[in-house]
Structure 1
Amino acid sequence: MNKRKSNGYKKSKNKYNRSNKPKGQQHNGRGSRTASKPKGTKKHQHSKKPVTIEVTCSGLTNEGKGIVEWEGKKLEVAHLMPGEKAVVTVSTRGRNVTAELKRVITPSNDRINPPCVHYYECGGCQLQHMNEQAQKRFKQETIDKLMQSFGKPEAILTMDHPYDYRNKSHTTFGLNKERQVIGGLYAQNSHQIIPMERCLIHDPKADEIVQTIKEIMKGSKMQPYNEDTGHGFLRHVLVKVGKVSGEIMVVLVAASPVFKGKKNFVKALRKAHPEITTLLLNVNNRDTSMVLGDQEKVLFGKGTITDTLCGLKFDISAKSFYQINPVQTEKLYAKAIEMAELTGKETVIDAYCGIGTIGLIASRKAGKVIGVEQNKDAVRDAIHNSKRNGVKNARFYQGDAGQFMVQMAARGEKADVVIMDPPRSGSDEAFLSSVVKLQPKLVVYVSCNPATQARDMGYLVKNGYAVESIQPVDMFPQTMHVEAVTKLVRKDKAGNQ
């Protein structure tokens, strides 16, 4: 999940005011349009002059945007809440009709002033204008609506302190118009850096370290990378924090392996932050949206950090995938293990196993765990983590989990439980059909995208499974994202046939 957040739009208690929006920072797709057909400008032939109207919000989309009607069309308006009357600007270009909130006339009782000053520029958080109760209600209703054909979901598991939770932060560096070093996050739908000192969902220590790096750069000859000219050195800084261990990794992502003044830089940073346990240089000299490159060099420490999740220790490298919010991850994984109904005899397949977190946690209650993952680096980490924790009943394999299960079924082998945690795009029919072929008695589906989860569950339900439990978890407070874990039981085992 991803955040961003300088001088934001100021909003009084009773109205929404965007008059302070900096020029040139409009979000893509929200520029002004022209009225009727402009003469002689082919480029604008299908544009119309923006129209300012009053509307009333009737509900929210799954992305947390307000829904309004105009000329028979349903439009989405960011930062608008149900029941609110507001002034919006409607722009039309061809078939594309967009609406932008200008002022709230009648605010909801659930509206608050966003605590982050960068909120309206950034776009990384989408719900900071809602109080905690409204955020909870929105996410619960989103899951209820997506899952309505499968049964009633449980009450969402929320977070006691819904800030400071991200154990990984990514800051981009550049120069402002005065040629001063700035660091921050990209404005929504752009490559324009919003200078910032604090993101309220980052670990505070990570932001402190980034501020120190900016100060060191100002006193040295180190220059940020300019993606337009290709000149400069530092592109990004990645900070990973072990929430339990307190260990901290700092990754300098540079455009070149030639690090002038390296010793002085490392010395100054370590002096300011002795809590940093490892420091790396990652080289990314490609014109790409990927943050990390392939080259990596350890400047200090062992090159990894360790953290504890559900009682097990995991080594985390710069490229390791590790859940962003460990507090909520423990709730999510505990629910997944509970749903698996393990007694110590079962064979469990951990599909999309990554570095082995769910599988290794399940191994304490299972007979045998088989983890399968396409990424060979992740499999290597999973094997290492297995040894580190003294786990004897888990094996990890590199490959396609669907093909692996088809081959198991062809050999007459069985699995009692399949735990699947796919990417946001969900699974594909090839994988789901392999689950059906293997016929586990239980499928535990962990998802960061309940929309694709519901789609995949529909396939499993049509092919012999019944949904027994749905548990939403708020893994990313202040954002539109919500996760869910569901339990599906083979119908002959559920007694439904």
Structure 2
Amino acid sequence: MNKRKNSGYKKSATKRNKSNKPYGKKQLTATKRKGEKPQGKQLSSNKRRNNKKSVTVKVTCNGLTSEGKGIVQWEGKQLEIEHLLPGETAEISVSPSGRYANAELKRVITPSENRIKPACSYFYECGGCQLMHMNDQAQKRFKQETIDKLMKPFGKPEPILTMDRPYDYRNKSHTTFGLNNERQIIGGLYAQNSHQLISMDRCLIHDPKADEIWQTIKDMMKSFKMQPYNEDTGQGFLRHVLVKVGKVSGEIMVVLVVASSVFKGKNNFVKALRKAHPEITTILMNVNNRDTSMVLGDQEKVLFGKGTITDTLCGLKFDISAKSFYQINPVQTEKLYAKAIEMAELTGKETVIDAYCGIGTIGLIASKNAGKVIGVEQNKDAVRDAIRNSKRNGVNNARFYQGDAGEFMVEMAARGEKADVVIMDPPRSGSDKAFLSSVVKLKPKRVVYVSCNPETQVRDMNYLVENGYEVKGIQPVDMFPQTVHVETVAELVWKNDK
């Protein structure tokens, strides 16, 4: 679910890579929607580019972009229409603007057999889920075809691994607070690609308990005279509430992200929150007084509990802090990591490098089948967590180091040291040439590349293929049901050792 390890979370309903563009020829439009059955106020981030009058036209959808938008043709232009499905005829509103055109869906005339009523009443306003108007099979087919097309130069990917129950899966959620026109406190998510707050009481991909907790906090704010933070004026106190849930352990962390370290009545607030939700195991205050798009600030104080929660993944226990990166869908993560370990083809003798190791999850899971694991991570807090997780699980063949993984591998190669397998799990932006060149210098027999952004993964895989590697297998995993995002893991082998 969108990935930046141990550095806070971007303020948006969903994380999207701005570099993600539809496949094929360059698109000519930027579009927004109203939805065929509007529910509440419709939002659009598009600005009219001129004063030309919009026109209503009838179109037929002939495909989907990689972002799940319907593709239609109009006066020689290719338009992208949100919430329109292939084969559907519809009325759209088009605002011409030279080479470009803004377009919105007005109504669907002939619906697709794959169209369903979205389970979420906020679907057309929020934008955090892009595919909830498709049935499960259509979502699966869309994601498979997207990955197949993207990965075609490397071979045919395996069938995507989907989720039996594609709801309630997020173990991490954050909620923002504000005031409506009646000066009442509201909470919810930002509309996609904007800072307009959507008031809601439930997100169907969040853990239900997390939504219950932030609703309680919203209801408590008035009695504690706690004002939501206003980004425009810089006034107010509570900016966000971050909730992390241990899906196996049941432990729950609540992080109150505030604009000031002065928290009047905090003891009574914590007492009242714990009384309402005794299942909460730790509460933290995170101070973010900067004008920033990051949710979490640098200053943190534990108000109750130990400041972390513990959860189990692939049979190992992991400590999770407020800033720790931990995969948001543990059910699908176990499938993803199992496939990654399978691709590593470990026999118990190999030296494995876990690059971008975070808190050590995949490296520690691999340690059960490896001779030695070396984890490398830039973030010192994450390295500390990884060491603690290693000790907690009694792992004796893994070592974790703070530093740049590429530089680490170059130094290994210079010393004549070898690694058999490199497992890499970079952020959404992918890796860089410096890191990839260090992989080529070290020449591990096998590279296992886990990615939350297949587009940047393809770019990086091209570099590795051009420099001596061959793609042996590709496995897509639906880590983020109801959204357009797909996680993929690919196996690359050094050709000289085939």
TM interval, shorter chain, is over 0.9
Contact 2:34 2:124 in 1 (8 A): no
Is 1:277 equivalent to 2:270 in the alignment? no
Is 1:27 equivalent to 2:44 in the alignment? yes
User: Within 2, Cα distance between the matches of 1:378 and 1:93?
Assistant: 49
User: Within 2, Cα distance between the matches of 1:192 and 1:462?
Assistant: 45
Q: Secondary structure at the match of 2:390?
A: helix
User: Within 1, Cα distance between the matches of 2:54 and 2:394?
Assistant: 64
What do you get for the CA RMSD once the two structures are aligned?
Answer: 1.6
**Deviation sequence 1:1-33 (CA, Å, 0-9, x none):** 37749xxx997xxxx234x652xx53211x446
The structural deviation recorded for 1:95 is 4.1
The one-letter code sitting in structure 2 at the alignment partner of 1:483 is E
The structural deviation recorded for 1:89 is 1.4
Q: 2:105 aligns with which of 98, 101, 104?
A: 101
User: Within 2, Cα distance between the matches of 1:151 and 1:182?
Assistant: 49
User: Within 1, Cα distance between the matches of 2:108 and 2:330?
Assistant: 37
Gap change, CA 1:409 and 1:10, over 3 Å in 2: closer
**Matching residue of 1:191:** 195
**Matching residue of 1:336:** 340
User: Within 1, Cα distance between the matches of 2:275 and 2:219?
Assistant: 13
The one-letter code sitting in structure 1 at the alignment partner of 2:399 is R
The structure that has the greater radius of gyration is 1
Comparing 60-69 and 331-340, the one that deviates more: 60-69
Contact 1:143 1:472 in 2 (8 A): yes
User: Within 2, Cα distance between the matches of 1:429 and 1:50?
Assistant: 46
Comparing 425-434 and 347-356, the one that deviates more: 425-434
**Matching residue of 1:48:** 52
Contact 1:4 1:199 in 2 (8 A): no
**Deviation sequence 1:419-478 (CA, Å, 0-9, x none):** 011111111111111111111111101000111111111111111111111100000000
Give the number of equivalent residue pairs: 471
Q: Secondary structure at the match of 2:204?
A: coil
**Matching residue of 1:293:** 297
**Matching residue of 1:41:** none
Is 1:170 equivalent to 2:156 in the alignment? no
**Matching residue of 1:87:** 91
**Matching residue of 1:377:** 381
**Matching residue of 2:76:** 72
Scaled by the length of structure 2, the TM-score of the pair is 0.92
Contact 2:34 2:104 in 1 (8 A): no
The structural deviation recorded for 1:66 is 0.9
Aligned-pair identity in percent equals 81
**Matching residue of 1:38:** none
Is 1:149 equivalent to 2:153 in the alignment? yes
User: Within 2, Cα distance between the matches of 1:92 and 1:220?
Assistant: 51
Q: Secondary structure at the match of 1:129?
A: coil
User: Within 1, Cα distance between the matches of 2:324 and 2:133?
Assistant: 33
Contact 1:27 1:189 in 2 (8 A): no
**Matching residue of 1:454:** 458
**Matching residue of 1:347:** 351
Contact 1:349 1:369 in 2 (8 A): yes
User: Within 2, Cα distance between the matches of 1:26 and 1:479?
Assistant: 18
The one-letter code sitting in structure 1 at the alignment partner of 2:320 is I
The one-letter code sitting in structure 2 at the alignment partner of 1:233 is F
Larger relative CO (CA 8 A, sep 6+): 1 or 2?
Answer: 2
**Matching residue of 2:419:** 415
| Unmatched 5+ stretches in structure 2 | 3-11, 15-32
**Matching residue of 1:392:** 396
User: Within 2, Cα distance between the matches of 1:339 and 1:98?
Assistant: 45
Scaled by the length of structure 1, the TM-score of the pair is 0.92
